[in-house]
Protein backbone atom coordinates (compact mmCIF):
# COMPACT_ATOMS: atom_id res chain seq x y z
CA UNK A 1 0.00 0.00 0.00
CA UNK A 2 1.22 3.50 -0.80
CA UNK A 3 1.81 5.69 2.21
CA UNK A 4 1.24 9.42 2.55
CA UNK A 5 -1.55 11.81 3.44
CA UNK A 6 -4.30 13.54 1.49
CA UNK A 7 -6.59 16.13 3.07
CA UNK A 8 -10.07 15.93 1.54
CA UNK A 9 -12.36 18.53 3.14
CA UNK A 10 -16.00 18.42 2.15
CA UNK A 11 -16.86 21.30 -0.18
CA UNK A 12 -20.32 22.37 -1.20
CA UNK A 13 -21.49 23.19 -4.71
CA UNK A 14 -20.50 21.48 -7.93
CA UNK A 15 -18.30 22.00 -10.95
CA UNK A 16 -19.87 24.63 -13.24
CA UNK A 17 -21.17 23.31 -16.56
CA UNK A 18 -18.55 25.19 -18.59
CA UNK A 19 -15.76 23.54 -16.59
CA UNK A 20 -17.31 20.06 -16.41
CA UNK A 21 -17.79 19.96 -20.19
CA UNK A 22 -14.10 20.70 -20.66
CA UNK A 23 -13.09 18.14 -18.01
CA UNK A 24 -15.03 15.48 -19.90
CA UNK A 25 -13.34 16.34 -23.21
CA UNK A 26 -9.85 16.47 -21.71
CA UNK A 27 -10.35 13.23 -19.75
CA UNK A 28 -11.52 11.52 -22.94
CA UNK A 29 -8.39 12.45 -24.90
CA UNK A 30 -6.06 11.50 -22.05
CA UNK A 31 -7.70 8.09 -21.65
CA UNK A 32 -7.56 7.47 -25.42
CA UNK A 33 -3.82 8.19 -25.44
CA UNK A 34 -3.11 5.96 -22.43
CA UNK A 35 -5.06 3.09 -23.97
CA UNK A 36 -3.29 3.59 -27.30
CA UNK A 37 0.16 3.60 -25.70
CA UNK A 38 -0.21 1.10 -22.88
CA UNK A 39 -3.58 -0.65 -23.09
CA UNK A 40 -6.82 -0.36 -21.15
CA UNK A 41 -5.41 -2.14 -18.07
CA UNK A 42 -3.00 0.76 -17.59
CA UNK A 43 -5.95 3.12 -17.09
CA UNK A 44 -7.11 0.88 -14.24
CA UNK A 45 -3.63 0.89 -12.79
CA UNK A 46 -3.41 4.68 -12.84
CA UNK A 47 -6.88 5.28 -11.41
CA UNK A 48 -5.95 3.01 -8.50
CA UNK A 49 -2.85 5.11 -7.77
CA UNK A 50 -3.92 7.92 -5.40
CA UNK A 51 -1.06 10.18 -6.40
CA UNK A 52 -1.78 9.88 -10.11
CA UNK A 53 -5.51 10.25 -9.44
CA UNK A 54 -4.98 13.47 -7.49
CA UNK A 55 -2.65 14.84 -10.15
CA UNK A 56 -5.21 13.95 -12.80
CA UNK A 57 -7.79 15.99 -10.91
CA UNK A 58 -5.42 18.95 -10.82
CA UNK A 59 -4.74 18.61 -14.54
CA UNK A 60 -8.47 18.65 -15.24
CA UNK A 61 -8.79 21.87 -13.25
CA UNK A 62 -10.81 20.82 -10.23
CA UNK A 63 -10.16 21.81 -6.57
CA UNK A 64 -7.02 19.91 -5.71
CA UNK A 65 -7.83 19.46 -2.03
CA UNK A 66 -11.58 18.92 -2.24
CA UNK A 67 -13.50 15.72 -1.67
CA UNK A 68 -15.33 16.60 -4.89
CA UNK A 69 -12.30 15.63 -6.96
CA UNK A 70 -13.36 11.98 -6.57
CA UNK A 71 -16.82 12.63 -7.97
CA UNK A 72 -15.76 14.87 -10.82
CA UNK A 73 -12.73 12.92 -12.03
CA UNK A 74 -14.62 9.63 -12.11
CA UNK A 75 -17.63 11.28 -13.76
CA UNK A 76 -15.40 12.96 -16.34
CA UNK A 77 -13.80 9.64 -17.26
CA UNK A 78 -17.14 7.83 -17.39
CA UNK A 79 -18.81 10.46 -19.56
CA UNK A 80 -15.66 11.03 -21.60
CA UNK A 81 -15.44 7.42 -22.80
CA UNK A 82 -19.20 7.13 -23.33
CA UNK A 83 -19.86 5.77 -26.79
CA UNK A 84 -16.31 4.49 -27.36
CA UNK A 85 -16.08 1.96 -24.50
CA UNK A 86 -16.11 -1.07 -26.78
CA UNK A 87 -13.38 0.40 -28.99
CA UNK A 88 -11.22 1.20 -25.97
CA UNK A 89 -11.93 -2.07 -24.16
CA UNK A 90 -12.68 -0.04 -21.05
CA UNK A 91 -15.98 0.38 -19.21
CA UNK A 92 -17.13 2.51 -16.28
CA UNK A 93 -20.07 2.03 -13.92
CA UNK A 94 -21.38 3.72 -10.81
CA UNK A 95 -20.99 7.22 -9.45
CA UNK A 96 -22.32 9.26 -6.56
CA UNK A 97 -25.44 8.54 -4.51
CA UNK A 98 -28.22 6.99 -6.59
CA UNK A 99 -25.80 6.38 -9.47
CA UNK A 100 -23.69 4.13 -7.24
CA UNK A 101 -26.72 1.92 -6.64
CA UNK A 102 -27.11 1.42 -10.37
CA UNK A 103 -23.62 -0.08 -10.68
CA UNK A 104 -24.79 -3.74 -10.86
CA UNK A 105 -27.22 -2.96 -13.67
CA UNK A 106 -24.60 -0.99 -15.60
CA UNK A 107 -22.11 -3.86 -15.32
CA UNK A 108 -24.71 -6.45 -16.35
CA UNK A 109 -25.66 -4.36 -19.37
CA UNK A 110 -22.13 -4.90 -20.75
CA UNK A 111 -22.39 -8.69 -20.54
CA UNK A 112 -22.36 -9.27 -24.30
CA UNK A 113 -19.12 -7.30 -24.63
CA UNK A 114 -17.24 -9.22 -21.92
CA UNK A 115 -15.27 -12.45 -22.04
CA UNK A 116 -16.09 -13.11 -18.37
CA UNK A 117 -19.34 -13.61 -16.49
CA UNK A 118 -20.65 -10.14 -15.55
CA UNK A 119 -22.22 -11.65 -12.43
CA UNK A 120 -18.72 -12.11 -11.04
CA UNK A 121 -17.93 -8.43 -11.57
CA UNK A 122 -21.24 -7.44 -9.95
CA UNK A 123 -20.31 -9.57 -6.94
CA UNK A 124 -16.86 -7.96 -6.69
CA UNK A 125 -18.33 -4.47 -6.96
CA UNK A 126 -20.71 -5.18 -4.09
CA UNK A 127 -18.02 -6.90 -2.04
CA UNK A 128 -15.62 -3.94 -2.21
CA UNK A 129 -18.36 -1.75 -0.77
CA UNK A 130 -19.11 -4.31 1.95
CA UNK A 131 -15.46 -4.51 2.92
CA UNK A 132 -15.06 -0.74 3.26
CA UNK A 133 -18.35 -0.29 5.13
CA UNK A 134 -18.41 -3.42 7.30
CA UNK A 135 -15.00 -5.09 7.61
CA UNK A 136 -13.26 -1.70 7.89
CA UNK A 137 -15.31 0.39 10.32
CA UNK A 138 -13.59 3.77 10.37
CA UNK A 139 -16.54 6.15 10.75
CA UNK A 140 -16.92 6.89 7.03
CA UNK A 141 -20.13 5.90 5.24
CA UNK A 142 -19.73 5.20 1.53
CA UNK A 143 -21.63 7.50 -0.80
CA UNK A 144 -19.52 7.22 -3.97
CA UNK A 145 -18.71 3.96 -5.76
CA UNK A 146 -17.04 3.80 -9.17
CA UNK A 147 -16.23 0.49 -10.86
CA UNK A 148 -13.94 0.49 -13.93
CA UNK A 149 -13.38 -2.76 -15.82
CA UNK A 150 -12.08 -4.38 -19.01
CA UNK A 151 -13.60 -7.16 -21.13
CA UNK A 152 -11.19 -9.74 -19.68
CA UNK A 153 -12.38 -9.09 -16.12
CA UNK A 154 -9.72 -6.77 -14.74
CA UNK A 155 -11.12 -3.98 -12.61
CA UNK A 156 -10.41 -0.99 -10.37
CA UNK A 157 -12.60 0.65 -7.74
CA UNK A 158 -12.51 4.24 -6.56
CA UNK A 159 -15.00 4.82 -3.77
CA UNK A 160 -15.40 7.41 -1.05
CA UNK A 161 -16.94 7.67 2.39
CA UNK A 162 -18.13 10.70 4.32
CA UNK A 163 -17.77 11.55 7.99
CA UNK A 164 -20.35 14.25 8.65
CA UNK A 165 -19.15 15.02 12.16
CA UNK A 166 -15.61 15.93 11.03
CA UNK A 167 -16.63 17.30 7.60
CA UNK A 168 -14.02 15.14 5.87
CA UNK A 169 -14.03 12.39 3.27
CA UNK A 170 -11.93 9.26 2.86
CA UNK A 171 -11.16 7.68 -0.51
CA UNK A 172 -10.51 3.97 -1.07
CA UNK A 173 -8.59 2.67 -4.11
CA UNK A 174 -8.68 -0.96 -5.30
CA UNK A 175 -6.97 -2.76 -8.20
CA UNK A 176 -7.74 -6.38 -9.11
CA UNK A 177 -4.19 -7.12 -10.27
CA UNK A 178 -2.73 -6.46 -6.81
CA UNK A 179 -5.25 -8.44 -4.74
CA UNK A 180 -4.55 -11.92 -3.40
CA UNK A 181 -7.40 -11.94 -0.86
CA UNK A 182 -10.41 -9.61 -1.02
CA UNK A 183 -10.51 -9.30 2.77
CA UNK A 184 -6.80 -9.04 3.64
CA UNK A 185 -4.99 -5.75 2.90
CA UNK A 186 -6.92 -5.40 -0.37
CA UNK A 187 -6.43 -1.68 -1.04
CA UNK A 188 -3.83 0.00 -3.17
CA UNK A 189 -4.44 3.03 -0.93
CA UNK A 190 -6.77 4.55 1.64
CA UNK A 191 -6.58 8.35 1.54
CA UNK A 192 -7.50 10.64 4.43
CA UNK A 193 -6.04 13.70 6.13
CA UNK A 194 -5.52 11.85 9.37
CA UNK A 195 -5.16 8.41 10.88
CA UNK A 196 -7.79 7.52 13.44
CA UNK A 197 -6.82 5.78 16.66
CA UNK A 198 -9.73 3.40 17.15
CA UNK A 199 -11.09 1.89 13.97
CA UNK A 200 -12.10 -1.76 13.73
CA UNK A 201 -10.04 -3.08 10.86
CA UNK A 202 -10.73 -6.72 10.06
CA UNK A 203 -8.88 -6.30 6.75
CA UNK A 204 -5.55 -6.02 8.56
CA UNK A 205 -3.30 -9.04 7.94
CA UNK A 206 -2.76 -9.23 11.71
CA UNK A 207 -6.49 -9.87 12.23
CA UNK A 208 -6.45 -13.29 10.59
CA UNK A 209 -7.48 -15.13 13.77
CA UNK A 210 -10.31 -12.66 14.35
CA UNK A 211 -11.63 -13.15 10.80
CA UNK A 212 -11.58 -16.92 11.24
CA UNK A 213 -13.35 -16.79 14.60
CA UNK A 214 -15.97 -14.30 13.40
CA UNK A 215 -16.82 -16.72 10.59
CA UNK A 216 -16.97 -19.67 12.98
CA UNK A 217 -19.22 -17.76 15.37
CA UNK A 218 -21.64 -17.10 12.53
CA UNK A 219 -22.11 -20.90 12.24
CA UNK A 220 -23.22 -21.33 15.84
CA UNK A 221 -26.78 -21.54 17.01
CA UNK A 222 -27.90 -17.91 17.56
CA UNK A 223 -29.02 -18.47 21.15
CA UNK A 224 -25.45 -19.40 22.14
CA UNK A 225 -24.07 -16.20 20.63
CA UNK A 226 -26.81 -14.13 22.25
CA UNK A 227 -25.87 -15.67 25.61
CA UNK A 228 -22.28 -14.58 25.04
CA UNK A 229 -23.45 -11.03 24.29
CA UNK A 230 -25.40 -10.96 27.53
CA UNK A 231 -22.27 -12.05 29.39
CA UNK A 232 -20.26 -9.22 27.85
CA UNK A 233 -22.72 -6.70 29.27
CA UNK A 234 -21.39 -7.49 32.75
CA UNK A 235 -17.73 -7.07 31.80
CA UNK A 236 -15.52 -3.96 31.96
CA UNK A 237 -14.29 -3.44 28.41
CA UNK A 238 -10.94 -1.88 27.44
CA UNK A 239 -11.17 1.89 26.99
CA UNK A 240 -9.44 1.69 23.62
CA UNK A 241 -12.53 0.12 22.06
CA UNK A 242 -14.86 2.40 20.17
CA UNK A 243 -17.26 -0.56 20.19
CA UNK A 244 -18.97 -1.38 23.49
CA UNK A 245 -21.59 -3.87 24.55
CA UNK A 246 -24.08 -0.99 24.79
CA UNK A 247 -23.83 -0.70 21.00
CA UNK A 248 -25.22 -4.19 20.50
CA UNK A 249 -28.88 -5.22 20.56
CA UNK A 250 -28.88 -8.99 21.30
CA UNK A 251 -32.39 -9.50 19.93
CA UNK A 252 -31.64 -7.84 16.60
CA UNK A 253 -28.31 -9.62 16.24
CA UNK A 254 -29.95 -12.97 16.98
CA UNK A 255 -32.23 -12.58 13.93
CA UNK A 256 -29.28 -11.98 11.63
CA UNK A 257 -27.30 -14.83 13.19
CA UNK A 258 -30.17 -17.21 12.53
CA UNK A 259 -29.73 -16.41 8.85
CA UNK A 260 -25.94 -16.89 8.94
CA UNK A 261 -26.38 -20.13 10.91
CA UNK A 262 -28.70 -21.51 8.24
CA UNK A 263 -26.44 -20.46 5.33
CA UNK A 264 -23.16 -21.41 7.07
CA UNK A 265 -20.62 -19.21 5.21
CA UNK A 266 -17.34 -20.97 4.50
CA UNK A 267 -15.06 -17.98 5.07
CA UNK A 268 -15.00 -14.32 6.09
CA UNK A 269 -15.49 -13.07 2.52
CA UNK A 270 -18.65 -15.14 2.11
CA UNK A 271 -19.94 -13.94 5.49
CA UNK A 272 -19.44 -10.30 4.44
CA UNK A 273 -21.25 -10.89 1.16
CA UNK A 274 -24.41 -12.26 2.79
CA UNK A 275 -27.49 -10.06 2.61
CA UNK A 276 -28.36 -8.50 5.97
CA UNK A 277 -24.87 -8.82 7.46
CA UNK A 278 -23.90 -5.26 8.26
CA UNK A 279 -21.50 -3.37 10.52
CA UNK A 280 -23.36 -4.16 13.77
CA UNK A 281 -23.30 -7.91 13.12
CA UNK A 282 -19.58 -7.85 12.39
CA UNK A 283 -18.91 -5.66 15.45
CA UNK A 284 -20.86 -8.01 17.71
CA UNK A 285 -19.02 -11.10 16.50
CA UNK A 286 -15.64 -9.36 16.66
CA UNK A 287 -16.35 -8.18 20.21
CA UNK A 288 -17.31 -11.69 21.31
CA UNK A 289 -14.22 -13.07 19.60
CA UNK A 290 -11.91 -10.75 21.49
CA UNK A 291 -13.49 -10.49 24.95
CA UNK A 292 -14.56 -14.11 25.38
CA UNK A 293 -12.32 -16.10 23.06
CA UNK A 294 -9.18 -13.96 23.03
CA UNK A 295 -8.96 -13.33 19.26
CA UNK A 296 -8.32 -9.57 18.97
CA UNK A 297 -9.41 -7.61 15.95
CA UNK A 298 -7.04 -5.00 14.55
CA UNK A 299 -7.56 -1.37 15.50
CA UNK A 300 -4.92 -0.04 13.13
CA UNK A 301 -6.22 2.57 10.71
CA UNK A 302 -5.10 1.74 7.12
CA UNK A 303 -5.21 5.37 5.93
CA UNK A 304 -1.84 6.56 4.66
CA UNK A 305 -0.93 8.56 2.35
CA UNK A 306 0.33 21.33 -9.28
CA UNK A 307 -2.16 22.75 -10.98
CA UNK A 308 -2.04 22.84 -14.80
CA UNK A 309 -5.19 24.83 -15.49
CA UNK A 310 -6.17 26.45 -12.20
CA UNK A 311 -9.12 25.47 -10.03
CA UNK A 312 -12.84 26.12 -10.04
CA UNK A 313 -12.65 28.02 -6.72
CA UNK A 314 -9.94 30.35 -8.06
CA UNK A 315 -6.96 28.72 -6.31
CA UNK A 316 -4.13 29.04 -7.07
CA UNK A 317 -5.67 30.99 -9.95
CA UNK A 318 -8.95 30.85 -11.92
CA UNK A 319 -9.27 28.34 -14.73
CA UNK A 320 -7.97 29.86 -17.97
CA UNK A 321 -10.55 28.70 -20.52
CA UNK A 322 -8.48 29.56 -23.58
CA UNK A 323 -5.48 27.55 -22.43
CA UNK A 324 -7.76 24.73 -21.27
CA UNK A 325 -9.35 24.49 -24.71
CA UNK A 326 -5.91 24.59 -26.32
CA UNK A 327 -4.88 21.63 -24.16
CA UNK A 328 -7.94 19.67 -25.28
CA UNK A 329 -7.17 20.40 -28.92
CA UNK A 330 -3.53 19.39 -28.51
CA UNK A 331 -4.50 16.14 -26.84
CA UNK A 332 -7.12 15.43 -29.48
CA UNK A 333 -4.47 15.87 -32.13
CA UNK A 334 -2.15 13.53 -30.21
CA UNK A 335 -4.92 10.96 -29.97
CA UNK A 336 -5.59 11.23 -33.69
CA UNK A 337 -1.89 10.81 -34.38
CA UNK A 338 -2.03 7.57 -32.42
CA UNK A 339 -4.07 6.12 -35.26
CA UNK A 340 -1.52 6.92 -37.98
CA UNK A 341 1.68 5.55 -36.53
CA UNK A 342 4.04 5.41 -33.58
CA UNK A 343 6.49 8.08 -34.83
CA UNK A 344 3.82 10.68 -35.45
CA UNK A 345 2.20 9.83 -32.15
CA UNK A 346 5.41 10.36 -30.21
CA UNK A 347 5.93 13.72 -31.89
CA UNK A 348 2.46 14.81 -30.83
CA UNK A 349 3.19 13.84 -27.23
CA UNK A 350 6.47 15.76 -27.33
CA UNK A 351 4.62 18.87 -28.51
CA UNK A 352 2.13 18.47 -25.69
CA UNK A 353 4.91 18.08 -23.14
CA UNK A 354 6.67 21.20 -24.44
CA UNK A 355 3.44 23.17 -24.18
CA UNK A 356 2.89 22.14 -20.56
CA UNK A 357 6.47 22.90 -19.62
CA UNK A 358 6.15 26.44 -20.96
CA UNK A 359 2.79 26.94 -19.32
CA UNK A 360 3.83 25.56 -15.93
CA UNK A 361 6.64 28.13 -15.70
CA UNK A 362 4.21 31.00 -16.26
CA UNK A 363 3.09 31.56 -12.66
CA UNK A 364 1.72 35.02 -13.44
CA UNK A 365 -1.21 33.73 -15.50
CA UNK A 366 -4.32 35.51 -14.19
Question: Which of 291, 311, 343 is the endpoint of a domain?
Answer: 291
- Kindly report the number of other CB atoms within 10 A of residue 294's CB atom: 9
Q: In this model, does residue 281 exceed pLDDT 70?
A: yes
- Kindly report the number of other CB atoms within 10 A of residue 179's CB atom: 17
Q: Which long-range contacts (CB under 8 A, 24 or more apart) does 218-222 make?
A: 218/257, 218/260, 218/261, 218/264, 218/265, 218/271, 218/285, 219/260, 219/261, 219/264, 219/265, 220/257, 220/261, 221/261, 222/254, 222/255, 222/257, 222/258, 222/261
Tell me the range of 157-166, 235-244, 352-361 where mean pLDDT is highest: 157-166
Confidence band of 333 (pLDDT split at 50, 70, 90):
low
Answer yes or no: is 296 within a domain. no
- Same domain (yes/no): 151, 27: yes
Answer yes or no: is 270 within a domain. yes
Confidence band of 364 (pLDDT split at 50, 70, 90):
very low
Question: Which of 237, 272, 291 is the endpoint of a domain?
Answer: 291
- Kindly report the number of other CB atoms within 10 A of residue 262's CB atom: 9
pTM equals 0.74
Q: Identify the pLDDT of residue 337.
A: 59
Structural domains in the chain (count): 2
Confidence band of 294 (pLDDT split at 50, 70, 90):
confident
Bridge-based pairing of strands 168-175 and 155-163 is antiparallel
- Same domain (yes/no): 166, 135: yes
Question: Which of 268, 291, 314 is the endpoint of a domain?
Answer: 291
Q: Identify the pLDDT of residue 246.
A: 55
Answer yes or no: is 80 within a domain. yes
- Same domain (yes/no): 218, 188: no
Residues 185, 203: Cα–Cα separation, whole Å:
5
Q: How far apart are the first and last CA of the chain?
A: 38
Q: Identify the pLDDT of residue 76.
A: 94
- Same domain (yes/no): 40, 100: yes
Residues 155, 316: Cα–Cα separation, whole Å:
34
How far is the CA of 354 from the CAs of 12, 29, 128, 264, in angstroms? 36, 17, 40, 61
Confidence band of 309 (pLDDT split at 50, 70, 90):
very low
Amino acid sequence: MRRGTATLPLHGGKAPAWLMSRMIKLAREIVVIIVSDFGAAEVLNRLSDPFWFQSFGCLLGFDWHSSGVTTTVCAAVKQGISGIEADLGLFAAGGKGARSRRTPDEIAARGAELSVDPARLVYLSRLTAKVDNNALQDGYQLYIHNFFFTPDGRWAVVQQGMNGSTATARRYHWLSDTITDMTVDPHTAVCDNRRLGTVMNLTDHDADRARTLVTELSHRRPERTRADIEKIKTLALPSRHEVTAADIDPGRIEKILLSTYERCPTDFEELLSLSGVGPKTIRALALIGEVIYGAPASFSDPARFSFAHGGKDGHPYPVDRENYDRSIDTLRHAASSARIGIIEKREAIKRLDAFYRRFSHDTTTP
